[in-house]
Amino acid sequence: MPTFITGAEVYTPEERIVPGAVAIADGRIAAIGPPDEVPPPEEAEALEAEGKIVAPGFIDTHVHGGAGADTMDQDPAALATMSTHLARHGVTGFLPTTVAAPDDAIRAALARVAQVMHESLAGAAVLGAHVESPYLNLEFVGAQDAAYLRLPEVEHIAALLRGFEDIVRVVTLAPELPGALEVIGWLVDRGISVAVGHSAATYDETLAALDAGLSRATHCFNAMPDLHRRKPGAAGAMLTDPRAQIELIADLVHIHPAVLGIAIAARGVGATMLVSDAMRAAGLSDGVYGLGDQEVRVESGIARTAEGRLAGSTLTLDAAVKNVVEGVGVSLADALTMVSASPARMLRPSGMGVLHSGATADVVVLNRDLTVETTIVAGRVVYSAPVLG
């Protein structure tokens, strides 16, 4: 049904329109601008948003699970559960993310992603898959299961992704491992982005990987050596090289607010994505949960392995936006860019991550406290906050 949103503070996100109106028809943005310049579509449902914020829908490029579901679950309903959960928090598109696991389990997860990519889910759309691969450094294993780690080989990645090359958007690996540069080249030749993660790579090793086609840092700073004045490492390379794009987990636990600010200032919002790295406990109460074959305990919303290592997060992207605005001092426009236009640009999906005429009508309506009021995916309202009282 056509929708007409009016009276809002609209972020495109490059432009702020106050007051603004957005006309939606046939799953696309039909028009956007001041209310007196935007005619409502015929038979449009009015959505009064006075005093609220309208922005492009959020895109989460690194999320393992939520609401009790996980990408690796054999239950075919798991991705649908994640979709509904994410939409409640403003996400309109996401990349279900795998963990190190047996090859057949990873391929089964990719098959489930491929199956739902073209389905009309009840919430956020599946945009492809992020393979947090078994090519990780044991020294920085984090919450990955060390039993499934291995050295990268072109023959192995070709077999692992065979038939799924067109749905895998990102592969995370440790570029210092023998064979990694060849695997990076193979992936890039097939249009798949490669990220450094769970890595002990030096600054020079990371630059060599960038030369080979690597372009991203998975959860920058986490599961890699600390940035040191004489040993900048992977973090230093990804913060300073103009080819680099970075993920940040802005839960204020994985990274100190001051370091978040440094990273955003160094790379700029156009090369920075806020991600959740959420696991199945996101949206649920504290307790014991599974991540792959491992047991994870969540206390005060913080997920840790039995050894005390952080195990993903329970973060949602609406909370990440709020954290960088209130905890780091980033402008709302910049925070919104890092969850919409920036990940869309890096994934290169047509017409996503922005609000302009002809763009996909992926829209989030936020309250002034940055909680989600309404989420719209391809012109369809998939979430509306319950009316209290």
Per residue of the chain (389 residues), give pLDDT as tens: 799 999 999 999 889 999 999 999 999 999 999 999 999 998 889 999 999 999 999 999 999 999 999 999 999 899 999 999 999 999 999 999 999 999 999 999 999 999 999 888 999 999 999 999 999 999 999 999 999 999 999 999 999 999 999 999 999 999 999 999 999 999 999 999 999 999 999 999 999 999 999 999 999 999 999 999 999 999 999 999 999 999 999 999 999 999 999 999 999 999 999 999 999 999 999 999 988 778 899 999 999 998 899 999 999 999 999 999 999 999 999 999 999 999 999 887 778 999 999 999 999 999 999 999 999 999 999 999 987 65
Tell me, yes or no, whether 63 and 49 share the same domain.
Answer: no
Q: Are residues 76 and 24 in the same domain?
A: no
Residues 327 and 361 in one domain: no
The CATH code of the domain that includes 16 is: 2.30.40.10
Specify if 389 maps to a domain. Answer: no
Of the listed 60, 277, 318, 362, which one is catalytic? Answer: 277
Mark whether 139 and 285 lie in a shared domain: yes
Mark whether 230 and 271 lie in a shared domain. Answer: yes
On whether residue 49 sits in a domain, the answer given is yes
380 plus 293 within the same structural domain: no
Let me know whether 338 and 358 are in one domain.
no
78 and 170, same structural domain?
yes
**Same domain for 202 and 112?**
yes
Host domain of residue 361: 3-55+353-384
Does residue 278 lie in a domain region?
Answer: yes
Rounded Cα gap, residues 368 and 387, in angstroms: 16
Entry pTM: 0.97
Question: What CATH number is attached to the domain comprising 181?
Answer: 3.20.20.140
My answer on whether 173 and 32 are in the same domain is no
Q: Is residue 334 part of a domain?
A: yes
- Same-domain check for residues 46 and 145: no
Q: Catalytic site residue 277?
A: yes
- Tally the domains of the chain: 2
